[in-house]
Chain A
Amino acid sequence: MSAEMANEIKLISGRSHPDLSEKIAKRLGIEVARTISLNYSNQETSFTVGESVRDEDVFVMQSTATGDVNEGLMELLIIISACRTASARRITAVIPNFPYARQDKKDKSRAPISARLVANMLQTAGANHIVTVDLHASQVRCCPDPKTRGVANRAAVDNLYAEPSFLRYIRENFTAEDCVIVSPDAGGAKRATSIADHLNTAFALIHKERPRPNVVGRMVLVGNVVDKIAILVDDMADTCGTLVKAAAVLKENGAKSVLALVTHGILSGNAIETLNGSVLEALVVTNTVPLGDKVERCPKLRVIDISPTIAEAIRRTHNGESVSYLFTHAPV
C-alpha cells in the first residue's frame, strides 16, 4: 500500500451553502466531513475539523450568501488555514460564486482590485487550487490563471462553465429554431454567441449605459427578436435591474416571450419584487448561490442543479484527470 492509496477526498462544507455540499457529497458517494464552526460572542469565527485530514485531498466548499459575503469568505479562509495546519496534502477551495468577482479591474483611480486580493488571500491561507463556476469577467479568469500564478505562485484556478447545463435546459424545454440568444450587455456577448453557436440559433445584443454599479441607463437592441423566444444569458443576476429592463426592451421589439438564463442568482436587495413585477417569463439560475426561500417567493425562479458538474470536477481533480471535458458536457 503506497501513500497514494490512502489519499482520499475530504469534502468540508462551510456554513453558507450546506445544501449544495450535501448534493456534491452524494454524487461523490462520500460524507461531508464533520466540522464545528461557530461565532464567538464578538462575532469572530472559530472553526475545528472533526476528523483527521492528514495527508488527505481536501476540498472546501463555500459559496457566498447574499449579505454575508465577508462572513463566508473569512470562514473559508479560516477553514483552509485549519486544514493547512492539520497537514492536509492538498487543499482545493470550491467557490461556485467567487466573491468580489466584479471588482476585478482598476476602473477608476485607486479602485481596489478586490478580486485579485481575494485570490491572493486564498493562497496565503493555504489553498493550492481553486475551483469556481463562471467567473464574472475575463479579467478575473485570466487574473488567477496565468497572471496571478506569476504574482502569487502555485494556486491554479479551474473555472467551470454552467453553459453545458444551460444548453441542455434549452434543448429540453424549447426548440432551438424558435429561440434567439440575447446578451444583456456587450461584455457578455462572448458567452451568448457561444451558446447561440452550439444551438445554431440567432443572436442579439443589448447595449446599455451603466453610470454606476447596479444602476442601469439607456438600452438599445442590436439584432432581430420578432416572434422569437428571447433568451437572455448572463453570469449573475444581482438586483435584476438590467435583466428586467432588457426584458422590457425585448418585448417592445416584438419578442414572443422573454426568459433569462443566469449562472449566479445573487438576487439581493428587492430583486424578487422586481422580478415578480416584470415581463420576464422565467429566470433560470443554477444553485451556486444559496437561494433560501426565494424559490417560494418568486414563482418565476427556476433552478438548475450544478452539483453534478462540481462533483465531477472534484473527482477529476482528485484523480488527476482532465477537467476540460466538463467545459462542453454536463454530467447527468
Chain B
Amino acid sequence: MRGTLIFAGSSCPALTGKICENLGMAPADAELSQFSNGETSVRILTSVREKDVFVIQSGSPKINDTIMELLIMISACKGGSANKITAVLPYFPYSRQSKKKSHRGAITARMLANLLGVAGVKHVITVDLHASQMQGFFKCPVDNLHAEPLIARWIRHNVPNWKEAVVVSKNAGGTKRVTSLADALKLNFGMVTTDKKRGSNMTASMIMNHLDGIERQPFLESISNQVRNNSSGPENGTAPADNGQPRASRSVADANGSPRRANGLSARTPSHPRPHSRAQALSQASTLSELDEESEPDGPEYNDQRAHEVTHGRLVQGHIVPDDFPSPATSAADASVIEEDPMAMSHASSFFAQPHALGGSGDAASSDEEDEILKNPKIEHMITLVGDVKNRTVLIVDDMIDKPGSWIAAAETVVKRGFAKRVYCIATHAVFGADCLEQMQACDCIDAIVVTNSYPIREDKARNASKLVVLDLSFLLAEAIRRNHYGESMSPLFLHMGD
C-alpha cells in the first residue's frame, strides 16, 4: 500500500509478519532495544514524514515495557511528522481494569487510552475488548474487531456434530458473549456459575427446594419466591403460588419491565446473590429461549425439564468433588470468619472493601478474583450448571484465558455433573498466565483449547500443548488496516459468512 508504514512492536513480530504478508509489504525498519538501566530505546530507521503509520503491539510477559515501547514508538513517529498514527492492539493491555472495582482503585484502561492520545495516536484498532464500553475511553475513533466470525467458522468446520453442541458461559458476566455466539451458530446455550457455599444445612435445603418444585416453600425463602413468581408466573402460565406478598412481587415486575429473557437475567436480587434464586431465574431464561425456538409449551413436561436443567456440584480447591466429600468448612460461622481473613482474599479489591460492596460478583471482570478464591482449600463452593449438556459437545466461551481455575471447574462440571461428551474451551486472547496452559492440557475434562494469536503464545509452551488450536487473526487485522487506509467500511468484518 502506498504511503503506509507498518511498525512491529517487540511483542508480536510473528503476527506483524503475517499481517504484512497479507498486505504484500514488509514491516518498516525500527530498532527497539533497552539501555543498560532498563529504559526503552526506540530508533525509527526510515522516514515517516506524511506517511500513514500503523504500530502493531500486543501484550507480553513484560507488559509495562511493552506499553512504554508502544508509547515511545508512537511519540517518535509523531515527532517525525507522520500524517496519521494508528495503534493496532490485538490485545488491549489493562482492559480488565476498565472500572473502579474497589474504593480508590484506578481505571487503568482509561488512563492508558489517554496516554495513547497524548503520545499521538489518531486511531485505534483492537480485537474483542474485555468491555466494549471501553471504546468510550478514547477521544479518537476505535475499531473493536470481533474474532467471533472466525471462531464460528472454525466451529462449523472442525467440531464434529456441531449442530448438537451447547455453548456454555463459565460465569454470569460472560453470558452476553456466549449468547452472541450461540445466536450466530443457532445453538443452545447454558451457563455455569460459582457461589461460595454458605453453610451446609442451608444449601441442602435450597437444593431440595429446587427439585421439589413450587409446592414446597419454606418461609425463609421468600426472596427467591418473589423472583421466581415474577419471572415464571406471567410468562408461561404456571400458577404463581400466592405467598402473601403480592405487592413486593409486583413492584419487582414493574421495575424490570417486560419479563422475558433479559428479565430472567436481571431479576436476581442484587443484595442477596443467593445461588438458588439466580439459578432459578436463569433456568427460566434458558428454557424460555428454547421454547421460543421449538414452540412446545407443554406445561408439565416443561416443569420436569426445568428440574433437570439445573445441576449442582461441590467445588473444593477448584475441583468437583463427590457429594459425600467431607466439607472443609463445617459451619456457617467458620465460613464467615474466613471471609474476613485478608490472606484468604488476596486480591486488592476484596482486601479493604467488602466483597459485594461495589458491583456484584456476577461480573466478567471479577472472574479473575473468583479464580483466586477458588484455589483456597478452606472454602467450598457450590457450582451450578444451567442447561442440558448430556451427551452433547460443550463449547465453553469467554474472551480470554488467563488463569485456568474457572475453566477447569466449568469443564469438570459439564463433564462430571452434566455428562457432556466433549469440551472445547474457546477464547480470543490466550494470555495464559503462569502454568495455565499446562494445567488445562493436563485436565482430562478438556478436549481442546481454541484461541487466536492476538496475544503471543510462547513457542515452547505451545509445542507441548497438544490440545491447543491457534486461529490466525492476521487476515482480519490486515483487512482492517487496508480498509482503514483506503477509507472503506469496516462492517463486512463483523459479518458471519455462511461457509
In the complex, the answer to whether A86 meets B402 with C-beta atoms within 8 Å is: no
Contacting B39 at CB < 8 Å: which of A40, A44, A100, A125?
A: A100
Set of chain B residues within 8 Å of A190, measured between Cβ atoms: none
Query: In the complex, how many angstroms separate the beta carbon of A192 from the nearest chain B beta carbon?
Result: 23
B residues within 8 A CB of A46? 97, 105, 108, 348
| A67 interfacial contact with B, CB 8 Å | yes
Evaluate contact between A70 and B40: CB separation under 8 angstroms: yes
Which residues does chain A contribute within 8 Å of B411, judged by CB atoms?
none
CA distance A109 to B68 in the complex (A): 20
Please determine whether A113 and B79 come into contact, CB atoms closer than 8 angstroms. Answer: yes
CB of A81 closer than 8 Å to a CB of B = yes
Contact A114 B75 (CB under 8 A): yes
Contact B348 A238 (CB under 8 A): no
Would you call B64 and A43 a contact (CB within 8 A)?
yes
Do B105 and A48 touch across chains, with their CB atoms under 8 A apart? yes
Beta-carbon contact of B36 and A47 below 8 Å: no
The answer on a CB contact under 8 Å between B111 and A125 is yes
A53: CB under 8 A from chain B? yes
With A70-B65, A120-B118, A121-B71: A81-B351 Cβ-Cβ less than 8 Å:
no
Contact (Cβ within 8 A) A70 B348 = no
A120 / chain B contacts, CB cutoff of 8 Å:
118-119
Chain B minimum-CB-distance residue to A66: B37
Given A81-B106, A82-B104, A110-B76: A40 and B433 interface contact (C-beta under 8 Å): yes
Choose among A42, A78, A112, A152 the residue that contacts B111 (Cβ–Cβ < 8 A): A78
The reply to whether B61 and A42 contact each other, CB–CB distance below 8 Å, is yes
- Point out the residues of chain A lying under 8 angstroms from B102, CB to CB: 48
For B93, give its contact among A44, A53, A73, A268 (CB under 8 Å): A44
Residue contact A269 to B36, C-beta cutoff 8 Å? yes
A66→B41 CA distance, assembly (Å)? 15
Scoring A residues 194 to 213 as 1 if CB is less than 8 Å from chain B, else 0, what string do you get?
00000000000000000001
Cα separation A22 to B65 with both chains bound (whole Å): 27
Determine if A266 and B104 form an interchain contact, defined as CB atoms under 8 angstroms apart. Answer: no
Complex CA distance for A66 and B42, rounded to whole angstroms: 18
Chain B residues, CB < 8 A from A94:
none
- Is A263's beta carbon under 8 Å from chain B? no
Contact B94 A44 (CB under 8 A): yes
B114 at the interface (CB under 8 A from A): yes
Partner of B37, one of A117, A152, A266: A266
Q: Mark B62-83, 1 if CB is under 8 A from A, else 0.
A: 1111011001110111011000
Residues from chain A with Cβ under 8 Å of B352 in the complex: 36, 48, 50
Chain A residue nearest to B120 (CB atoms) is A117
A43 contacts which of B62, B73, B348 (Cβ < 8 Å)? B62
Chain A proximity mask over B245-271: 1 for CB below 8 Å, otherwise 0: 000000000000000000000000000
Chain A 42-64 against B: per-residue CB contact (8 Å), 1 yes, 0 no? 11111111101100000000001
A48, B349: Cβ atoms closer than 8 Å:
yes
- A281: CB under 8 A from chain B? no
A44 vs B117: C-alpha distance when bound (angstroms): 20
Contact B37 A43 (CB under 8 A): no
Q: Closest CB-CB distance, A262 to chain B, in whole Å?
A: 14
List A contacts of B67 (CB < 8 A): 70, 74
Complex: A113 Cα to B62 Cα, angstroms = 22
Are the C-beta atoms of A125 and B94 separated by less than 8 Å?
no
Asked whether A114 lies within 8 Å of B72 as measured between CB atoms, the reply is: yes
Residue of A nearest to B436 (CB): A41
Q: CA–CA, A36 to B101, complex, Å?
A: 13
Chain A residues in 8 Å Cβ range of B39: 69-70, 99-100, 102-103, 114
Task: Tell me, rounded to whole Å, the shortest Cβ–Cβ distance linking A133 to chain B.
Answer: 16
Nearest-CB distance from A322 to chain B (Å)?
31
Q: Cβ of B465 < 8 Å from any Cβ of A?
A: no
Closest chain B residue to A270, Cβ basis: B36
Shortest CB-to-CB span from B76 to chain A, Å, is 4
Q: Does B326 contact A (CB under 8 A)?
A: no
Cα(A43)–Cα(B433), bound, Å: 9
- Whether A42 touches B103, Cβ cut-off 8 Å, given contacts A48-B349, A268-B37, A268-B38, is no
The contact of B106 among A82, A112, A269, by CB within 8 Å, is A82
In the assembled complex, the Cα of A113 lies from the Cα of B37 at a distance in Å of 17
Shortest Cβ distance from residue A33 to the other chain B in the assembled complex, whole angstroms? 10
B59 lies within 8 A of chain A by Cβ: yes
Are A85 and B44 touching (Cβ within 8 A)? no
Asked whether A111 lies within 8 Å of B76 as measured between CB atoms, the reply is yes
CA distance A114 to B34 in the complex (A): 13
Interchain CB contact under 8 A, B36 and A79: no
Chain A hits for B37, CB < 8 A: 66-67, 69, 238, 266, 268
B106 engages A85 (CB within 8 Å):
yes
- Cβ of B105: which chain A residues have Cβ within 8 Å of it? 46-48, 82, 85
A112 in contact with B42 (CB, 8 Å)? yes
User: For the complex, is A306 an interface residue (Cβ under 8 Å from B)?
Assistant: no
0/1 per residue, B346-366, Cβ < 8 Å to A?
001101100000000000000
Distance between B317 CB and nearest chain A CB, rounded to angstroms: 18
B52 to chain A, nearest CB (A): 16
Q: Which residues from A are CB-within-8-Å of B75?
A: 112-114, 117
Whether the Cβ atoms of B96 and A44 lie closer than 8 Å is yes
Question: Does residue A71 face the partner (Cβ distance < 8 Å to B)?
Answer: yes
B35 touches A85 (CB 8 A): no
Interface centre among B42, B94, B111, B431 (most CB of A within 10 A): B111
B64 contacts A45, CB within 8 Å?
Answer: yes
CB-CB under 8 A for A48 and B348, given A69-B39, A124-B111, A125-B115: yes
Whether A70 pairs with B349 at a CB distance below 8 angstroms is no
Q: Which residue on chain A has the smallest CB distance to residue B95?
A: A44
- Inter-chain CA distance A100–B71, complex, in Å, is 13
B68: chain A residues at CB < 8 Å are 69-70, 73-74
Interfacial chain B residues near A49, Cβ < 8 Å: 103-104
The answer to whether B431 and A124 have CB atoms under 8 Å apart is no
Complex: A239 Cα to B38 Cα, angstroms: 12
Q: Flag if B36 contacts A239 (CB, 8 Å).
A: yes
Chain A proximity of B427: nearest CB distance (Å): 14
| A283 → B minimal CB distance (Å) | 16
User: How distant is A115 from chain B, measured CB to nearest CB, in Å?
Assistant: 10
Q: Which of B36, B59, B97, B351 has the most CB of A within 10 A?
A: B36
Is A38 at the interface (CB under 8 A from chain B)? yes
Decide if B308 is an interface residue (CB 8 Å cutoff). Answer: no
Q: Report if B107 contacts A (CB, 8 A).
A: yes
Task: Known contacts A46-B348, A48-B348, A48-B349; decide if A70 and B118 are in contact (CB<8 Å).
Answer: no
Residues of B within 8 A of A (CB): 35-44, 47-48, 59, 61-65, 67-68, 71-73, 75-77, 79-80, 93-94, 96-97, 100, 102-108, 110-111, 114-115, 117-119, 348-349, 351-352, 368, 402-403, 431, 433-434, 436
10 tightest CB-CB pairs across the interface, nearest first? A41-B433, A82-B106, A112-B76, A110-B80, A49-B104, A86-B104, A74-B64, A110-B44, A67-B38, A268-B37
Known: A50-B351, A121-B115. 16 other contacts (CB 8 A): A40-B368, A48-B104, A69-B68, A86-B103, A86-B104, A110-B43, A111-B79, A112-B42, A112-B75, A117-B119, A120-B118, A125-B111, A238-B37, A239-B36, A268-B36, A268-B37
Chain A positions near chain B (C-beta within 8 angstroms):
36, 38, 40-50, 52-53, 64, 66-71, 73-75, 77-79, 81-83, 85-86, 99-100, 102-103, 106, 108-114, 117, 120-121, 123-125, 152, 213-214, 238-239, 266, 268-269
Q: List 8 A-B contacts (CB under 8 A).
A: A40-B96, A47-B348, A50-B351, A77-B115, A121-B119, A125-B111, A239-B36, A268-B37
